[in-house]
Amino acid sequence: MERYKEEFIEFMVDSDVLKFGDFVTKSGRKTPFFVNTGFYRTGAQLRKLGGYYAKAIHDKFGLDFDVLFGPAYKGIPLSVAASIAISEQYDKDVKYCSNRKEIKDHGDKGILLGSPLGAGDKVLLIEDVTTAGTSIEETLPIIRAQGDVQVCGLVVSVDRMERGKGEKSALTEISETYGFPTAAIVTMAEVVEHLYNKPYNGKVYIDDTLKTAIDAYYAQYGA
């Protein structure tokens, strides 16, 4: 595993974004792990987060795109942080854009926030964690209504590696449904590989008991 992925896993733990215990997902699944990117709350955290996204984007998609689009609301700071990081790390100036939940009818009017989308723009979607693809389903019509733009991929922070609406993973379903590639900074398999029975900051986050619970979860919901 690349070192930046190991660092990102530790960064999620340090930021209380990645937690282990007993949780219930929005879809009603009882899960022994939870990823909540709402716990990135400081400028320093967002700067680091943007850097990890930039590295993953560079490695998995390259830099041949024009706009980073982050669906409202959590995607807004992600698109800003990652576009800044891409500029700093790779000297590539990309635009950022997000949608509004409500259309603004005064001042900076319309459904979009940030850069407008124009004909010929190559757009890369950026999200936190995708479990059912709902926000992509809602967002793509908005993007495509702006004109002849090309959606060239989706990047998320963590691939939970569980079934979406069918038997395949949410990221695979999105890729097959909409015809563009998907990628994640890390997968849950990589999280388990890095933390299982390996102390971090003096604590073992995934011991045998939790590993058994994770395995049982994937036996039921794994893609």
Active-site residues, by number, are 104, 106
To which residue do tokens 């792990």 refer?
A: 33
Measured CA to CA in angstroms, residue 12 lies from 48, 105, 114, 185, 190 at distances of 11, 38, 27, 12, 13
CB 48 within 8 A of CB 77: no
Angle between helices 188-195 and 208-221 (to 10 degrees): 170
Strands (E), the chain: 18-24, 30-35, 67-69, 95-104, 110-114, 122-126, 150-159, 182-187
Which residues are CB-contacts of 220 (< 8 A; sequence separation ≥ 6)? none
The token pair at 73 is: 């609301």
Alpha-carbon distance of 86 to 63, in angstroms, equals 9
The angle formed by the CA atoms of residues 169, 172 and 178, to the nearest 5 degrees, is 135
